[in-house]
Amino acid sequence: MTKLFLVLALLFTTCLSAQSEEEVDSVQKLFKARDYTWVDFDNNIFKMRKHFSSKWGLFSWNIEGLQLLPMEYDSVSFMVEYEPFSIVKRKGLYGIFLLPFEVQDAAERVSCIYEELQKVEDHAHDSEPFLLAKKNGKWGQIDWFNEFEIIPFIYSSAQAVPLQKIDTWATELIQVARRELQADLVFLDQGNGDGVFKARSMKTQKWGMYQGLDEIRTLIPAQYDSLDFFNWNYPFTGVYKEGKVGIYTSAWSVDSAHETVPCEYDDYKIIEGNRSYFLAVMKDDKWSWIDWREGKLIGTWVDQVGALKFREDDAW
């Protein structure tokens, strides 16, 4: 909830008028500082560097005492429009400084423990950006507000990290899944939002699908190199082994969910009919219908999936 308030505060802050040259000179003399530089115009935040030193601190005309962060930092990033935090550097390592008007202990929470920090935005002026971090030579993703490790530090580059946005409640689910399933990676089903997630076994590096928090229910066992989430109300989904795809049925749609189509196809496509769902598979650049319940091919192979003759028949 605090994270939400922090974002809202950025959206509704009133811009105050700039200070005069006399006021700027006065504050520099007060703190024995130099290099007065704006960081965030909306919140009247500025940074200064200590005389005879390269260390920066953060200040604001909006608070009593002016000082937000002491002049102990190698660098302090700008807070651009809608941005909820600043990246600071001390003793060669990076940390996060949250907007101090909503987080009262923002200065005390700064912990410079990361070798690098990198923001990734979904769109311009993204108020909830992804934050990638590097630790012990490896990259992962952290929550910028509480620094929870969303994606573990196991990747050799920032570009290799799979990004995931989570709500506050999902933090506990990920922690439970890691502990109970001995998983290193946990991804939530963002489309359905019903507590479904996929997790990768730390030991075998195989993926499974699960649901729940207090009691974890296995939907697909951890036997696959990768798998797709179930689309809303779809009775089956794709699972992958050694670069080939098969089909696993949904426990919400059938009595005994299992792998009905073996992992021996190159691609698949689900076709939604008026009364049922149909499955087409590709192999050697050819497409064919297949019965998703029993794995039996139906009809002949064609060059394009659009060339398949559509049959509206619930029997298959």
Question: Residue 174 pLDDT more than 50?
Answer: yes
pLDDT tens figures, 78-123: 776 566 788 999 999 999 999 877 788 889 999 999 999 999 988 7
pLDDT tens figures, 133-162: 999 999 999 999 999 999 999 999 999 999
Question: Residue 266 pLDDT more than 70?
Answer: yes
Look at residue 274 in the predicted model and tell me its pLDDT.
80
Total residues belonging to the chain: 316
More confident residue, 62 or 264: 264
Question: Residue 277 pLDDT more than 80?
Answer: yes
Question: Residue 184 pLDDT more than 80?
Answer: yes
Q: Per-domain residue ranges for the chain?
A: 1-113, 114-162, 166-219, 230-316
Range of lowest pLDDT (52-56, 207-211, 276-280)? 52-56
Question: Residue 15 pLDDT more than 70?
Answer: no
**Which residues lie across from 89 on neighbouring strands?**
75, 94
Q: How high does pLDDT run on average in the chain?
A: 88
More confident residue, 277 or 15: 277
- Tokens standing for 5? 């308030």
Look at residue 40 in the predicted model and tell me its pLDDT.
76
Residue 313 banded pLDDT, cuts 50, 70, 90:
low
Residue 311 banded pLDDT, cuts 50, 70, 90:
low
The dihedral through the CA atoms of 122, 128, 129, 135 has a sign that is: negative
Contacts of 227-233 with C-beta under 8 Å, sequence gap 24+, read 227/198, 229/189, 229/191, 229/192, 229/196, 229/198, 230/189, 230/192, 230/196, 231/191, 231/270, 232/191, 232/192
Task: State what percent of residues in the chain have pLDDT above 70.
Answer: 91
Q: What is the mean pLDDT of residues 273-301?
A: 93
Look at residue 14 in the predicted model and tell me its pLDDT.
38
Do residues 109 and 95 lie in contact, with contact meaning Cβ atoms separated by under 8 Å?
A: no
Look at residue 80 in the predicted model and tell me its pLDDT.
62
Inter-CA distances, 285 with 213, 235, 289, 304, Å: 42, 26, 14, 8
- pTM as predicted: 0.82
Question: Residue 13 pLDDT more than 50?
Answer: no
Residue 2 banded pLDDT, cuts 50, 70, 90:
low
Look at residue 194 in the predicted model and tell me its pLDDT.
81
